[in-house]
Copies of this chain bind each other. A is one copy, B any other.
């Protein structure tokens, strides 16, 4: 199977598209731009969800659920937000189909079942949620309100790609309300930290924490904090964003609270989200020409065991040995698949687990039985090693940790090599064109310059890093003075 995969150097984009389908992660559906997430892909999403959900709860958030639809009058209430999403939203106009009189056996929209007010399928839920919060918030005692929702959203994008940009996608969206500006800013930065920790610790995907420039902010936000990752082809991926929304939504929906001092004040807001796009980032951070490479902490199957045998008797002898090891591994919380299917040969199974990125593969044959050994292969480096059956469990346990760490270190090294400080626009263009990656450059802070650089190089400001040092310099494009570097890159 894997020999059919286009190589990354040949065509990175084609490699990605093929891999997503061949590894059984997702496929396109009959609905333009919408994907089907297949069981193996969904199992990765479930693992991501479980960790994120735990982290959200540990930071005091609760889950709730708000309607899929946003009445047009609510949708348009916060002007900037509405303007940002109006061009790409699916709109429900009717609530019934009827038999088509001109076309036997076919249905058509019933013209008499037109809605009085159109309903927008949520592209994001600020409007419907803040309209609800109006009823929930009266006093400072009701604050902070810390809520998250796991949901599907729809943005009618014209060019879509599996996981990276789809018309419908799955995500979580946090929506919080606070008594003070400071608290809301602290919350939005806290959630950026949570996302960064998740990306680095579980996805083994290093990220830069930063703030977006004004032109790249979420529609309706005062400040957008982002985590930016670097993919293997030198393009950046915005992997998660957390927005400080100021009082924009509170004002649009008239959400006020009575302070301790008895005054009526508008509430301060944040929202933050990550989506199934993360799976795209996961793929493009670690995988290779042979298929997926999954970090152990998010791999649906961490260890695949392939018996190599002739006849029932040998299989039984192997099973007897392995059952004990499988039990011990599972007791340690390691997910194991002992693959005794007789419809596939060992070689086909090896290829399947390689393609699907299973971190550790164990093979055991007749000679191993005699010697009390096993062959253990790691997916990331493709190295194999023979170990004794006695040491197998602790060996695998350590190996999984080592792989997790090693994937992260490799990605960090790649990013270091592909982050270039430049001081002239010629250098800038050269790096963007020939090397890729992040370009660290001074910028004069204007949208005009940002637009021109984008026009000339396709690179955008990914973020102003949170830890950027004060440094006198000159804008790489206009030569105007600048006090810190920002990160540019071409991006997904």
- A119 in complex: contacting residue of B31, B79, B141, CB < 8 Å: B31
- CB atoms of B92 and A30 under 8 A apart: no
- CB atoms of A66 and B128 under 8 A apart: no
Contact code string A114-126 (vs B, CB < 8 Å = 1, else 0): 0000111100000
Q: Is A101 on the interface with B (CB-CB < 8 A)?
A: no
Given known contacts A30-B128, A39-B63, A82-B107, A154 and B93 CB-to-CB distance under 8 angstroms: no
Given known contacts A76-B105, A92-B90, A29 and B66 CB-to-CB distance under 8 angstroms: yes
Which of the listed residues A30, A39, A132, A147 has the most CB atoms from chain B within 10 Å of its own CB?
Answer: A30
- CB atoms of B109 and A168 under 8 A apart: no
In the complex, chain B residues whose CB is within 8 Å of the CB of A34: 67-69
Q: How many residues of A contact B (CB 8 A)?
A: 65
- CB atoms of B98 and A88 under 8 A apart: no
- CB atoms of A64 and B86 under 8 A apart: no
Q: Is A75 on the interface with B (CB-CB < 8 A)?
A: yes
Q: Is A87 on the interface with B (CB-CB < 8 A)?
A: yes
Q: How far is the CA of A52 from the CA of B281 in the complex (A)?
A: 31
In the complex, chain B residues whose CB is within 8 Å of the CB of A71: 30-31
Q: How far is the CA of A67 from the CA of B162 in the complex (A)?
A: 13
- CB atoms of A89 and B93 under 8 A apart: no
Q: Is A416 on the interface with B (CB-CB < 8 A)?
A: no
Q: How far is the CA of A274 from the CA of B64 in the complex (A)?
A: 19
Contact code string A142-154 (vs B, CB < 8 Å = 1, else 0): 0000010001101
Selected A-B contacts with CB under 8 Å, 24 pairs: A27-B135, A29-B67, A30-B67, A30-B74, A30-B128, A31-B70, A34-B68, A39-B62, A42-B63, A42-B65, A65-B170, A68-B68, A68-B154, A76-B105, A86-B98, A86-B107, A88-B95, A92-B92, A95-B156, A96-B156, A97-B120, A121-B121, A141-B343, A152-B152
Give me the 5 closest cross-chain CB pairs, A-B, nearest first. A39-B62, A34-B67, A37-B65, A86-B97, A95-B156
